[in-house]
Amino acid sequence: MDINDRITDALALAERLIKLIDEENALLRDNETQQLAEVVEDKTNLSMAFEKAYKAIESDEENLKNAEEVLREDMRDVAERLDESMKENGRLLEAAIGARQTFLNLVREAAQENAPKTGAYSASGVVDTGRTDKKTRASVAYDQSL
């Protein structure tokens, strides 16, 4: 396979990858988490195929110089578009992960606050009910010998 054919194949893979990343970005923006798993798996497989094709082209520097100029320009263009889609994908993934982490932290905190406590005495003799919204009361003992 000559260099022009390899570039053409890599361009086709890159176009499909851009389309898939843009689809994932739309799902992330719309919070369509059910459909993301399938897209992510396809994106991973396609990314590996593109990376392999790209490395093969990049390692063949001598023939790359002889490639058609229009294909080299197309490759630069698709690389820029892929980079833009991937940057947006990174931002959306980071936001989605952050939102889910915040939600999980709130659920965890609410569960901890509402969990029943034993009411055991602390080292200072105060009953620890686990609730800070009410005043804690010190225990009182009545010594009848006095």
DSSP-derived secondary structure for 9-43: HHHHHHHHHHHHHHHHHHHHHTT-HHHHHHHHHHH
Residue 37 resides in a domain: yes
Residue 132 CB contacts under 8 Å (≥ 6 apart), including other chains: none
- pLDDT for the residue 1: 79
Residue 131 resides in a domain: no
- pLDDT for the residue 103: 84
Residues 113, 110: Cα–Cα separation, whole Å: 5
Residue 102 resides in a domain: yes
Inter-residue contact 66 to 6 (CB < 8 Å)? no
Residue 143 resides in a domain: no
Residue 51 resides in a domain: yes
Residue 103 lies in domain? 3-114
In the chain, the number of structural domains is 1
pLDDT of 106 higher than 60: yes
CATH number at residue 7: 1.20.58
Residue 133 resides in a domain: no
- pLDDT for the residue 121: 66
Residue 128 resides in a domain: no
Residue 126 CB contacts under 8 Å (≥ 6 apart), including other chains: 136, 137, 138, 139
Residue written as tokens 């263009």? 77
pLDDT tens for each residue of 4-51: 999 999 999 999 999 999 999 999 999 888 888 889 899 999 999 999
Q: Provide the whole-model pTM.
A: 0.71
- pLDDT for the residue 127: 67
- pLDDT for the residue 18: 97
Listed range (2-16, 72-86, 128-142) with the worst mean pLDDT: 128-142
Residue 84 resides in a domain: yes
pLDDT of 137 higher than 50: no
